[in-house]
Amino acid sequence: MNIQKVLSTLARDLPVMYEHSVVGLLTDADGRVTGVEVEGPEGRSTIESDLVVACDGVMSPVRQMAGLEAKVTELSDASLTFMSPEPVGTSFKMEYFADGGHIGLLGWPEGSAGWRSIDRMGAEKALAPGLDAIKKMWIDLIPESEPGVSALTSLDQIRYGEPKIMSCPRWWTPGVVIIGDSAHFFGPETGVSSGLGLGDAHALAQAIMQNRDDPDAACASYETWRAPVIRPYEATDPGLSRMMGASGEPRPEEMWPPPSG
């Protein structure tokens, strides 16, 4: 199923406004959020609501505008990723290194992407071996990546990153609640974020059903029942502590940059 089918299925029977961004929050005299200001092709307009549900990703503008605190934790690993317009013959593959690092491949009908963990060393050093060395490393470690990796033509398609995880002590303030990645962001190994985000939406819908006329009570109930699901994932994120392999040392072919000579 491609992304358009998923999006149109999710939007069925819902009043969706495309090409609009939330650019501000409306508040009453007590500071309670009472809606949003949006910007679209025809300019700015406002939408009033009893509860603004922000599901706007890890950088969540709504979270920031609402003043909800986000705690960011640096991970010890960095990452090297690629994005290719060429598909591969598999949707997912992941392998662990002898030192507990990992490498993976994602495939979809229109392209592919890969990631691997490396030590934090800065983009310059990580990319210094060059495109051909990066392609060889990926194909050696995950042969299924070959069609996607071979289609890469520029180092611009490779990205060095230093992943961080993010958690929020509070998920709501009167009139606004954050769910999904806007409320919690895990490391690249956790692999549960979509499911947890959908679970957030489901749990919030249940809390609203049980507190139809009281958005604050709905949010308080949501936080009470959802925290025991989310907080343990935050506390045990695999990115916080590597599970070492038998030797604790990477095999030579897993090292990055590759050993010289």
Ligand X SMILES: Cc1cc2nc3c(=O)[nH]c(=O)nc-3n(C[C@H](O)[C@H](O)[C@H](O)COP(=O)(O)OP(=O)(O)OC[C@H]3O[C@@H](n4cnc5c(N)ncnc54)[C@H](O)[C@@H]3O)c2cc1C
Residue found under tokens 């000579």: 261
Q: How far apart are CA 112 and CA 106, in angstroms?
A: 6
Whichever of 99 and 181 has its CB closer to ligand X, that residue is 181
Minimum Å distance from CB 76 to ligand X? 19
Q: Which residue is nearest to ligand X (CB)?
A: 180
Minimum Å distance from CB 181 to ligand X? 4
Whichever of 56 and 223 has its CB closer to ligand X, that residue is 56
Question: Which residues in this chain contact ligand X in the complex, by CB under 6 A?
Answer: 21-22, 55-57, 61, 180-182, 191-195, 197
Minimum Å distance from CB 47 to ligand X? 12
The number of angstroms, rounded, from the C-alpha of 132 to the middle of its chain's C-alpha atoms is 29
Question: Three-state secondary structure along 49-103?
Answer: CCCEEECCCCCCHHHHHHCCCCEEEECCEEEEEEEECCCCCCCEEEEECCCCCEE
Whichever of 25 and 126 has its CB closer to ligand X, that residue is 25
Whichever of 10 and 246 has its CB closer to ligand X, that residue is 10
Whichever of 190 and 258 has its CB closer to ligand X, that residue is 190
State the distance between the two ends of the chain, measured CA to CA, in whole angstroms: 46
To the nearest 10°, the Cα dihedral for 191, 173, 206, 223? Answer: 60
What stretch of H or E contains 105?
A: strand 102-108
Minimum Å distance from CB 54 to ligand X? 9
Minimum Å distance from CB 104 to ligand X? 8
